[in-house]
Amino acid sequence: MKKTVLVLIAAALAVSSLGCFHLFPPRVNLERMGTIGLVEFRSEAKGNIASYATRIFLEVMLKSQPAARIKELGREEDVLREIGADRFTQDALAAVGSRYGVDTVILGTLEISNIRPRVDVLSIITTLRVSADIEAVLSARLLDLGDGTTVWAGTAHDRESVGQVSVVKGGGVIFDAQDPERAYGPMLRDLVLRATRDFQWR
C-alpha cells in the first residue's frame, strides 16, 4: 500500500512538472523586422558552399519563425550592381530598401581556412574528389535599412571534416559537391543553428 502511494505521488509530481514546462520566445522577433532581404553569404571559398549555407540559413529562420517575411535577393555582387554601388554604405542600404521593397537586410560571410585535404588514392581514382578538414566561421548581421544600424549579429565557429571536394593544381580546393547536404550540410547546419540562437524558441 505504501509503495502504491509513493508511486502515485511520483506520478503526480511528474505531471505537475510537465505542466510548468514552457519555452522562452526568441530574443529577436523577426516579424517586427518587416520584410527581410537575405543576400547570399559572401565567401572566398570556391564552389557552392556559401550558397548552400545561405539556403540552410533561410530554412532555419523560417522553421524558427514561420511568420517571418524573407525575400531572397541573390548574390552580393549582383545586388550591388543593381543599385550602382561597390559596397554597402548607408546610402547603398537605403537603395536596397527602395529597389527590392525590404525593410531590413541580412548580410553574412562564410570564412573557410586551414584546409587540409585527406588524400585517398581510391577516392581520387573513382570520383576525382576527396574529403578535407577545414575551419569555418559563419557570421551574419541584420541591418535596419532606415538608418543603417545593426539590430542583430551572430557568429559561430567550427572545425570539421567535409566531403566531395575537388583538389586543383597547386593544392587549392573547390567545394563543388554534387550532394552538398551530404558533403557539408551537417557542419553548415550546426554553424547556422548556433549563430541564430536569438531567432529560436528555447
2 within some domain: no
The answer to the question of residue 8 being in a domain is: no
Q: What are 189-193's contacts with CB under 8 Å, separation 24+?
A: 189/56, 189/60, 190/156, 190/158, 190/160, 191/53, 191/136, 191/138, 191/156, 191/157, 191/158, 192/53, 192/56, 192/57, 192/60, 192/138, 192/156, 193/60
One-character DSSP codes across 93-128: HHHHHHHHT-SEEEEEEEEEEEEEEE--HHHHHHHS
Q: Tell me whether residue 11 is in a domain.
A: no
In a domain, 87, yes or no: yes
The pTM of the full predicted model, rounded to 2 decimals, is 0.82
**Does residue 189 lie within any of the structural domains?**
yes
Residue 73 lies in a domain: yes
Total count of domains within the chain: 1
Please report the pLDDT score of residue 21 as a whole number: 53
Domain extent for 190: 27-199
The CATH number linked to 77 is 3.40.50
For residue 16, being part of any structural domain is answered with: no
| The predicted structure's pLDDT at residue 108 | 98
User: What are the E-state strand segments in the chain?
Assistant: 35-39, 46-47, 69-74, 104-118, 130-144, 150-167, 173-175
Q: What is the side-by-side order of every strand in the sheet holding 130-144?
A: 46-47, 173-175, 150-167, 130-144, 104-118, 35-39, 69-74
Closest CA to 133 of 96, 158, 111: 158
CA gap 41, 136 in Å, rounded: 13
139 closest CA partner among 87, 195, 60: 195
For residue 79, the model assigns a pLDDT of: 98
**Per-residue cell: 58:** 533561410
Residue 15 lies in a domain: no
Angle (CA) 89-95-99 rounded to 5° is: 145
Given a contact cutoff of 8 angstroms between Cβ atoms, the answer to whether 141 and 199 are in contact is: no
pLDDT in tens, the chain (202 residues): 555 544 444 554 444 444 555 689 999 999 999 999 999 999 998 989 999 999 999 999 999 999 999 999 999 999 999 999 999 999 999 999 999 999 999 999 999 988 787 765 444 444 456 788 889 999 999 999 999 999 999 999 999 888 777 776 666 778 888 889 988 899 999 999 999 999 999 8
